[in-house]
Amino acid sequence: MLIASSITACNQKDTITKKIYIIGGPTDTILSLKKCKTEEIQIGLPFINSIDVSFFWTPSAGLSSNNVANPYTDIDSTTEYQLIIIGPKNCRDTITQKVVVDDFYVDAGNDTTYCFSSIELEGETPLNRGRIDILWSSNKFFNDTLGTEKKLIVDQIGVYYIKAYNEECEAIDSVKILAKQIDIELEASQNNCKGDSVYIEVYNNSTTEITSFEWDTGAFFYNKDSSATQYIIDSARWYSVTITNTEGCVLTDSIYIDGYSYPNTYSIWAEDTIIYKGENTTLHVDSKDSIVWLLENDTVTQDFIIVSPKENTTYHVEIHNNNCKKKEAILIRVKSVFCQDSIKVPNAFTPEETINKTYFITLRKEIIKEFKLEIFNRLGERVFKTTNPEIHWNGKRNGSFLPSQVFDFYVEIICVDGERFFKKGNITLIR
């Protein structure tokens, strides 16, 4: 600070303030600091807030910032830091500060495994460090206490935490305990039907040898060293095996194998098993399961189909219950149609009054699809006509018997196989 005054200036005063930075020699050393491994401390110079001065720390490892005068460090090993200070007009100075890290530690050991018995854990701490207190816990916050000695007996899997501390520092470590696993896989075919034979095999995915296999009841065969066996499927259920390895570890594993019943077929039948060529018939299956008719170029999934075979044909059907299926078959016989033999007309006939007598013409109605009959007298008058093969001419016209005479008839039929047949002639009515 500068104060100026003058006797000729009415005793006026003024003050000028100027920042002065004193940069020493090229290198200075400041007091070393000591810390614990997990501790964070502040190093460097007191806080300086000026745009005229810049800072650069090296190395930057563990520092919260490398361009401030007093950063924090959490370095876990002893380190010597250098601070380069650059002032106005590129004035430079270097300051060295050493951070000594206490090597206080605790080691809980390597992660480990076990089969059945308990296992002993032991923490390791530095020697010749005086009194060291120990705390075991099941969590990293140490909310519970499992033990206060270096050794701890455990019989459960999990992560165990140990804290060691003295008057100066504390250290924390953890160890993971795993149950020694027998890593196996069971494989078997699925979608099996009851009564089928299924093969089950054990695959060992670990390097520890398996010494024995105990399969559950019902297995076809197995020895103590049998990694596979067979069963006859009696139902959908779990199939299990108990294995032991060379380290004495025992594991029981199982696999679920489905076992479906074969489908039930109550009956397969046809409305007609013998038909004439050109006719059709309906095939039926009585079943509550899925139905698939296996036709020549198609499949039909319903419980009935209408077929019209041209020759003797066997029809096959599959009934499914999941992957289990049953096949059935039915034969349809096809008779040839001789359309010209479907009608017989005598040369003469005597009509009868009695009902159910055969009149004039005999027909094989089962093979006739279309029918037409006309009868004419000698004058060319039509005395009878029908297209119904069930209606017969009984020698009457308009309800009255005609006298004996010769009549002309014309018959035209179409049979079930599509063949057309025409016949005409004369017949004598005798009374």
- One digit per residue, pLDDT tens: the chain, 431 residues? 455 555 555 555 556 555 454 545 556 888 999 999 889 999 998 877 777 889 999 999 999 999 999 999 999 999 999 999 988 878 888 999 999 999 999 999 998 877 766 889 999 999 888 999 999 999 999 999 999 999 999 988 889 999 999 999 999 999 998 877 678 899 998 888 888 888 899 999 888 888 888 888 777 666 666 788 888 888 888 888 888 888 778 888 899 988 888 887 778 999 999 888 888 899 999 988 899 999 988 999 999 999 999 889 999 999 998 888 889 999 999 887 777 777 788 888 887 643 334 456 777 777 888 999 999 999 999 999 999 988 888 888 888 888 999 999 999 988 888 888 888 899 888 87
Within 10 Å of residue 369's Cβ, how many Cβ atoms?
16
Q: For 366-378, how does the pLDDT look when each residue is reduced to its tens digit (9 = 90+)?
A: 788 899 999 999 9
CA distance linking residue 39 with residue 166, whole number of Å: 14
Domains of the chain from N-terminus onward: 27-101 (2.60.40.10), 112-179 (2.60.40.10), 184-260 (2.60.40.10), 267-335 (2.60.40.10), 339-429 (2.60.40.1220)
Pairing status of strand 324-335 against strand 313-321:
antiparallel
Q: What pLDDT is stored for residue 275 in this prediction? A: 87
Residue 63 burial by CB count (10 A; 0-12/13-18/19+): exposed, middle or buried? buried
**What DSSP letter does each residue of 170-199 carry, written as one string?**
EEEEEEEEEEPP--EEEEE--SEETT-EEE
Name residue 118's amino acid: S
Residue 159 dihedral angles phi and psi, to the nearest 5° = -110, 130
CA distance linking residue 193 with residue 263, whole number of Å: 10
Residue 243 burial by CB count (10 A; 0-12/13-18/19+): exposed, middle or buried? buried
Q: For 204-218, how does the pLDDT look when each residue is reduced to its tens digit (9 = 90+)?
A: 988 888 888 888 877
